[in-house]
Copies of this chain bind each other. A is one copy, B any other.
Amino acid sequence: MKQIVTFGEIMMRLSPPLNYRLEQASNLEVTYGGGDANVAASVACLGLPAAHVTCFPEHQLGRAAVQQFRRLGVDMRHTVFIPNTRMGLYFLEVGSALRASTIVYDRFDSAFAKLDPAAFNWEEILKNAQWFHWTGITAAISASAAQACREAIRVARRLGITVSADVNYRRNLWQYGQRAQDVMPELVEGCDVVVCSEGDAADLFDIKADAGTANSFASMAEKLMQRFPQIKQVTATQRETQSASHERIKGMLTDAQLGYLETAFYDIVPVVDRIGGGDAFIAGFIYGALKLENPEQALAFATAASALKHTIHGDVNLATAAEVEHIVAGNTTGRLLR
């Protein structure tokens, strides 16, 4: 089977144990993650071949990050090591009840931000791929990162590879002198599948759901597909956060052929780790698109995968396909499995 390939920055994540505050912590838990890489790793845990393309500083931390993703089965052979650069970092303080989790980013001037687009031979990288996935964060990091992403999409298109994007607009990341509103449309128009919230559609593409429609997501999705005809599916989770310890999520999909679909809500109490919940959804959706019978099943699988992710520490959904199917089949009471 051909690979699912993702592209983007991987950061070191440092967080106090349990619900301790950063100032209380005499040690920090370390893991590595990034929106695109999490998708590759989740897809690998689901049993599909996956590769991630990224850059790291040429020292121990880069090596450690490669090791974590290699451990999960991701093909990391395309990693570019850049001397005298730094690893992007983020510090996560996990909240509880009404206290929010907070993130302090320290990712500017990372190895990834300084990548040379010419360092990636996309023809070679994608020659054995069937799916290419990227996120809006990659485009936000630096002009060269956006450029590399642009080339990857172009090559993927030419090779007939499915392209998906999580537009994921983070306003304060865009600091290299170009506007997301100028950069993103060109990238998105090469995509077959797009994850996009109504807010991001409004901010990035000036697409607003029709007022007064019963289903504003579907309304937005249809307009997005009209604007970018290559797009066949727009999907997202709807998240109703009850507290830092209680999330409700459902999956939504507008498919060019089937129209709007949604799942029921999952209640997750308590939430173990909500970082990467969206990435788990996308990974599940890719799995479903490639292995299941129809978009409805794919959406159900993706949403169950995302729900499961909330019960797993770290950025990556470690669930197997069997475990996700177990949830899809309705086994949500967590009964002991001997």
Contact = CB atoms under 8 A, between A and B. Distances in A.
Interface of A: 14, 17-31, 59-61, 63-64, 67-68, 70-73, 86-87, 89, 91, 93, 95-106, 108-109, 170, 241-246, 266-272, 274, 307-308, 310-314, 318-319, 323, 326-327, 331-338
Contact of A24 (B19, B59, B243, B313): B313
Q: Which 9 residue pairs across A and B have the least CB separation, nearest first?
A: A244-B334, A71-B71, A99-B311, A23-B64, A98-B332, A22-B60, A96-B311, A102-B337, A243-B334
B29 A241 contact: no
Contacts of A242: 333
A331 B101 CA distance: 12
Given A103-B337, A108-B109, A245-B334, 4 more contacts: A18-B18, A89-B106, A98-B332, A244-B334
A160 to B, nearest CB: 27
Given A24-B314, A334-B243, A337-B100, A71 B67 contact: yes
Nearest to A99: B311
A106 to B, nearest CB: 5
Of A27, A68, A314, the most chain B CB neighbours within 10 A belong to: A27
B26 A60 contact: no
A87 B70 contact: no
A335 B97 contact: no
Contact of A72 (B30, B67, B105): B67
14 contacts: A18-B18, A19-B312, A21-B312, A26-B26, A61-B104, A70-B73, A87-B106, A98-B311, A98-B333, A100-B336, A101-B337, A102-B337, A241-B335, A246-B269
Contacts of A72: 67
Nearest to A170: B338
A312 B99 contact: yes
Contacts of A244: 311, 333-334
A307 to B, nearest CB: 6
Nearest to A96: B311
A26 B18 CA distance: 14
A327 B103 contact: no
Contacts of A17: 27
A197 to B, nearest CB: 14
A26 B30 contact: yes
A311 B20 contact: no
Contacts of A98: 266, 268, 307-308, 311, 327, 332-334
A152 to B, nearest CB: 25
A314 B27 CA distance: 13
Contacts of A266: 98
Contacts of A71: 67-68, 70-71
A241 B170 CA distance: 40
A318 B61 contact: no
A6 B67 CA distance: 20
A17 B243 CA distance: 24
Nearest to A23: B64
B336 A22 contact: no
A204 to B, nearest CB: 17
B270 A23 contact: no
Contacts of A67: 23, 71-73
